[in-house]
Amino acid sequence: MDRDEVRALLGAVAAGETAVDDAVGLLAAGPLAGFADLGFARLDTHRGLRTGDPEVIYAAGKTAEQTVTLVRALGAQPGDRPALVTRLDPPGADAVRAAFPDALVDVEARCAVVGPLPPARGRVCVVAAGTSDGPVAAEASLTARVFGADVTRVSDVGVAGLHRLIAAREALEGADCLVVVAGMEGALPSVVGGLVGTPMVAVPTSVGYGSAFGGLAALLAMLNSCAPGVVVCNIDNGFGAGVFAARVARRADRSKADR
């Protein structure tokens, strides 16, 4: 349950549409309890109220059974936000499909979503330098959508062919926030930052030959960008970039509505 949902619940109580005891029961089952102790994990049930976004399940290192148990526990919490699972391996993805037939499983993003997506507020554009950067871009895209933003993708517009990027300039300018994903020498965010003033988070990927050092070369290039306003996530962290971008987009959409 996030802040918007708690606000709506309290509004329903004030309007006489929801009984006080029913509202107390909903709050006690989620935010006020703080966490759900599953033995192998303590699921944070209060995060949505603290930050506006609920807990997310990081499946790497977990068994398929543990992942499914966490999804069930997260889905049992009050509120309408879907459960997001990241870094799923094939056995974990199969287990999620079997347990939740309606789940959205994105093989490229290595993620799964259980539950309906929220209404989209604000626009995020995820830009990838090359097709090989696709898994990280897909993770960022799906995360931003689950976290409440509308998402468009622009793929394969790396600096080896700048005409491809310039052709997508309208999409870059029209977004509330950009996620720019690149491996190799990591130059794309600097170029994008010189073309448009849209808020941007850059994501280095581990794509590249030996001297790319598993994404370190791209990370350092992005940190040393001469274009102003480029913030940087860790290597291959599409999830973190997607969360950031969605929050920026949601706030931008709220600001537009207040005008």
CA 134/CA 118 separation, integer angstroms: 24
Angle at CA of residue 250, ends 169 and 240, nearest 5°: 80
Position 249 pLDDT exceeds 90: yes
Exposure pattern of 46-75 as b/e (b: 16+ CB <10 Å)?
bbbbeebbbbbbebeebebebbbbbbebbe
Q: What is the predicted pLDDT for the residue at 45?
A: 76
The answer to whether 59 and 85 have CB atoms below 8 angstroms apart is: yes
Nearest to residue 3, comparing CAs of 249, 252, 176, 250? 250
Q: What is the phi/psi pair of residue 141, to 5°?
A: -65, -50
What tokens appear for 30 in the block? 């989620």
Q: Which residues pair with 114 in a beta bridge?
A: 83
Give per-residue pLDDT as tens, 204-221.
Answer: 999 999 889 999 999 999
Q: DSSP of 33-90, one letter per residue?
A: T-EEE-SS-EEESSHHHHHSS---EE-TTS-HHHHHHHHHHHHTSSSSPPEEEES--H
Give per-residue pLDDT as tens, 33-83.
Answer: 677 777 888 777 777 777 778 888 999 999 999 999 999 988 887 777 899
Q: Label residue 31 by pLDDT band (50, 70, 90).
A: low
Q: Could you tell me which residues come within 8 angstroms of residue 57 by beta carbon, excluding any fewer than 6 positions away?
A: 67, 70, 71, 74, 83, 84, 85, 86
Say what the pTM is: 0.84
The answer to whether 130 and 100 have CB atoms below 8 angstroms apart is: no
- The fold adopted by the segment(s) 123-258 is Rossmann fold (3.40.50)
**Residue 28: CA count within 13 A, CB half-sphere:** 6
The answer to whether 164 and 141 have CB atoms below 8 angstroms apart is: no
Which residue ranges make up each domain of the chain?
37-116, 123-258
Give per-residue pLDDT as tens, 111-123.
Answer: 999 999 999 999 9
